[in-house]
Chains A and B, each alone.
Chain A
Amino acid sequence: MMNDLHAILLTKEFSLTLTCVAYLISQFIYKKTKNFFLFHPVLFSIFLLIMYLKLTGVLFDEAITFDQYNKGGQFISFFLGPAVVALGVPLYLQIEEIKSKSKPILISLVLGCFVGILSGVVLCYFLGGAKEIVFSIAPKSVTTPIAMGISGALGGIPSLTAIIVIMVGIFGGIIGPPMLKAMKIKNPKAMGMAMGACAHAVGTAAIAEEGQEHAAYGGLALGLCGVITAILCPIILHIVWPILSTL
């Protein structure tokens, strides 16, 4: 009986259904708690699924491992690659806007991405972060699928990057709007871009309620920052990591 149950839990179909159900439950709780950040659907469904895997260790002789779960789960995460490609559509829709103000937009975003990657990497190293952690943190400010792609290509841990990116988004979304207010920034383009650059889609959503222009420039920043970060990350780490590791 227990053996049969164990065999069912190991099927791809069970992993897939369980993942969907965990996400639906998390979405429901998130809505019910009026979007309380600890119940962010992605974070909370990851938490639920990890608890489930731990629980199987109590019920059976051996816990179900991540690799066993992922035999089904991989069918979902496979779509991360095409999802990044699909981001080309919103980027295309922004091209005219980017062209009309290309200089200020590109200068601000390249500068922002440069400062963001460099400060993240250097601080993480000096606060005692291990190499894999430093490499996983480097692309933390861009949208999750892009950040995971960069992290994987650099030799970081993409799943760690995913969690960090979501936490950065929530953090930026919470502190961003009051900080911009305190800094007396009133230019809607600057506000939107700052939020999109520091906290990707979550940040953009947090500033979107201020106005359409805020939202449009947030979306523009999050797309462009993805590209800029993908180019800058390998270059910066290639130069900075050898210096840091000899200090």
Chain B
Amino acid sequence: MIKSLAYIFGCLLIGNIIQTFLHISIPGSIIGMLLLTAALHFKVLLLEDVKAFASLLNKNMAFLFVPPGVALINYIDMLQSNLLAILGSCAVSTVLILVVVSLTMSKLDPTPANDE
């Protein structure tokens, strides 16, 4: 467990350092995620060594959004005055992604459905 803690915090730390030095708006955590993926792929780290903490986090991720969500209490007025903009843009844009991805993928990879 402690090993997996060290590797995951380590990837996050390096990700944050890279973000700071390159001054980019890609979060350090995502750079850390890519580092972890690469490290596993090139066998620098073994899946066994990161699994314990990683699966604990992956399984319970939703719970982590709760405290930041409560911060909405400070933005309730803003949310109310922008409700149409939020709901309208999210709904239309979600449908567009669904259409674009499903049509493009079916065109580019026309393998027949095999588990019908």
Contact = CB atoms under 8 A, between A and B. Distances in A.
B34 A164 contact: no
B2 interface: no
Given A87-B33, A104-B105, A190-B106, A163 B63 contact: no
A86 B11 CA distance: 9
Nearest to A51: B73
B17 interface: no
Nearest to B108: A104
B67 A76 contact: yes
Contact of A230 (B27, B55, B61): B27
A82 B33 CA distance: 9
Given A95-B41, A194-B101, A234-B26, A123 B93 contact: yes
Given A83-B61, A116-B97, A185-B106, A127 B67 contact: no
How many of chain B's residues touch chain A, expressed as a range?
Answer: 35 or more
A124 B85 contact: yes
A179 B103 CA distance: 12
B65 interface: yes
Contacts of A158: 68
B90 A171 contact: yes
A127 B85 contact: yes
Shortest Cβ-Cβ A-B pairs, 6 listed = A73-B67, A88-B36, A149-B27, A129-B85, A104-B108, A84-B29
17 contacts: A46-B70, A49-B70, A69-B70, A111-B100, A128-B82, A150-B30, A154-B25, A171-B90, A172-B98, A175-B98, A179-B99, A188-B114, A197-B97, A210-B115, A212-B115, A230-B30, A234-B26
